[in-house]
């Protein structure tokens, strides 16, 4: 096994659905729910996109057969968004309908700003057919306030995160303080109106602020959930559960791990130093 593969294992639960289900069981035993992600993006081949949807349907069957507490998250560029919007919509609808048969839920991850509008359009179209699908909003995007309003009005469940892609100044805040204050504003909007939002961050200041908003407004702890990534701030995930909050861990698995791993490295300088140190140690 290569060194990079070894290091990616901190963030990725394994290559197969069976390995991922093992990780789910360990998290469930700590009262942490999961959303499972099959790694993959930027698919340019129809057969590959159809196979990706099939893989998700098999995964949903496995989740049901194993009786574990896990929903799924998927990326539209894995479902054929770069091939054709209608083809992608049909593929996603197939997965969402399979999830509905099991009483399960599908979250559509948000990718780069080149596909934000089209991603939300597909989510809306799928939602009109089957409401067990949700969206993701990135607080670094300048357009996000309008998107949160529209999603809340439509009753589409939303996950709020900061955003993990490199984006130009014209579309995204560049300064961390602006990204954080946008997160704070959107979080307040979602907690007030956004039917079961997911607050997806490891940022202790924003988590503390979320708790304050909830207690100040007398909102129940069951009105939203915190979401965090597999391998990041695991102790904090357990602590929030102990405090009575709902926590869901995003657990990716599969062989196409490099782009996901690189996003995790970029988020935190210490991770890059960790990789470099280990490479030179060989
Ligand atoms: P921030 O980056 O400020 O980090 C706060 C603290 O968290 C850090 O000080 C550190 O302790 C810890 N931390 C954060 N990242 C770390 C890392 N990589 N390694 C080690 N420690 C780290 N993005 C996107 O564009 N589309 C999406 O669909 C999603 N989906 C999603 C789901 C879930 C459940 C989560 C938690 C996140 C996403 N993201 C995402 C990623 C998100 O946009 C963002 O890039 C990361 O969550 C990091 O931002 P934080 O909010 O944690 O804050």
User: Does position 280 have pLDDT exceeding 60, yes or no?
Assistant: no
- Return the minimum-mean-pLDDT range out of 105-109, 170-174, 193-197, 221-225: 193-197
Which one, of 32, 39, 30, lies nearest residue 11 by Cα?
39
What pLDDT, in 10s, does the model give residues 160-216? 999 999 999 999 999 999 999 999 999 999 999 868 999 999 999 999 999 999 999
Cβ–ligand 1 distance for 233 under 6 Å, the answer yes
User: Does position 275 have pLDDT exceeding 70, yes or no?
Assistant: no
pLDDT of 170: 97
Cβ–ligand 1 distance for 163 under 6 Å, the answer yes
Grouping H, G, I as helix, E, B as strand and the rest as coil, residue 161 is strand
pLDDT of 8: 78
Cβ–ligand 1 distance for 23 under 6 Å, the answer no
Grouping H, G, I as helix, E, B as strand and the rest as coil, residue 88 is helix
The atom of ligand 1 lying closest to the CA of 227 is: 34
Instruction: State the chain's mean pLDDT as an integer.
Output: 94
Catalytic residue among 37, 107, 147, 159: 159
**Nearest Cα residue to atom 10 of ligand 1:** 202
The atom of ligand 1 lying closest to the CA of 140 is: 43
Cβ–ligand 1 distance for 228 under 6 Å, the answer yes
pLDDT interval class at 145 (50, 70, 90): very high
Which one, of 40, 187, 203, lies nearest residue 109 by Cα?
40
148 φ, ψ (degrees, to nearest 5): -65, -45
Q: How much is the average pLDDT of 222-228?
A: 96
Distance 87 CA to ligand 1 centre (A): 30
Answer yes or no: are the C-beta atoms of 59 and 17 closer than 8 Å.
yes
pLDDT of 195: 83
Q: How much is the average pLDDT of 262-271?
A: 80
**Nearest Cα residue to atom 4 of ligand 1:** 203
What pLDDT, in 10s, does the model give residues 64-91? 999 999 999 999 999 999 999 999 999 9
Q: Is 175 a catalytic residue?
A: no
User: Does position 282 have pLDDT exceeding 60, yes or no?
Assistant: no
What pLDDT, in 10s, does the model give residues 227-253? 999 999 999 999 999 999 999 999 999
Task: Give me the percent of the chain exceeding a pLDDT of 90.
Answer: 84
Please return the burial class of 155, using the count of CB atoms within 10 Å of its CB with bins 0-12, 13-18 and 19+.
exposed
Q: What is the pTM of this model?
A: 0.95
Grouping H, G, I as helix, E, B as strand and the rest as coil, residue 213 is helix
User: Does position 226 have pLDDT exceeding 90, yes or no?
Assistant: yes
**Nearest Cα residue to atom 3 of ligand 1:** 203
Distance 162 CA to ligand 1 centre (A): 7
Give CA–CA dist 146/1, Å, rounded.
Answer: 46
Testing ligand 1's pocket by substitution, the residue of 143, 268, 272, 275 carrying the most ligand atoms inside 8 A of its CB is 268
User: Does position 136 have pLDDT exceeding 80, yes or no?
Assistant: yes
Answer yes or no: are the C-beta atoms of 39 and 254 closer than 8 Å.
yes
Side-chain half-sphere exposure of 177, counting CA atoms within 13 A = 0
Q: Is 159 a catalytic residue?
A: yes
């Amino acid at each position: 096994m290569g060194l990079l593969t070894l290091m990616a294992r901190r963030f990725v639960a394994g290559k197969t659905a069976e390995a991922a289900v093992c990780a789910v069981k360990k998290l469930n035993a700590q009262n942490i729910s999961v959303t499972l992600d099959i790694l993959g993006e930027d698919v340019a081949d129809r057969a590959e996109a159809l196979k990706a949807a099939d893989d998700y349907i098999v995964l949903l069957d496995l989740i049901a057969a194993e009786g574990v507490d896990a929903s799924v998250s998927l990326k539209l560029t894995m479902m054929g968004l770069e091939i054709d919007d209608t083809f992608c919509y049909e593929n996603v609808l197939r997965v969402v309908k399979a999830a509905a048969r099991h009483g399960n839920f599908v979250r559509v991850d948000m990718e780069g700003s080149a596909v934000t509008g089209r991603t939300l359009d597909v989510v809306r179209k799928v939602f009109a057919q089957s409401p067990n699908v949700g969206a993701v909003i990135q607080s670094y995007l300048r357009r996000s306030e309008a998107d949160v309003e529209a999603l809340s009005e439509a009753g589409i469940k939303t996950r709020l995160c900061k955003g993990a892609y490199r984006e130009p100044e014209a579309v995204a805040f560049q300064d961390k303080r602006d990204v954080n204050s946008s997160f704070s504003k959107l979080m307040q909007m979602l907690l007030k109106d956004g039917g079961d939002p997911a607050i997806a961050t490891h940022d202790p200041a924003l988590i503390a602020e979320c708790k304050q908003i909830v207690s100040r407004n007398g909102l129940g702890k069951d009105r939203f959930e915190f979401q965090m990534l597999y391998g990041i701030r695991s102790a904090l995930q357990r602590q929030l559960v102990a405090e009575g909050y709902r926590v869901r861990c995003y657990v990716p698995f599969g062989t196409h791990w490099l782009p996901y791993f690189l996003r995790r490295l970029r988020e935190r300088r210490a991770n890059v130093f960790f990789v470099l140190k280990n490479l030179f140690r060989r």
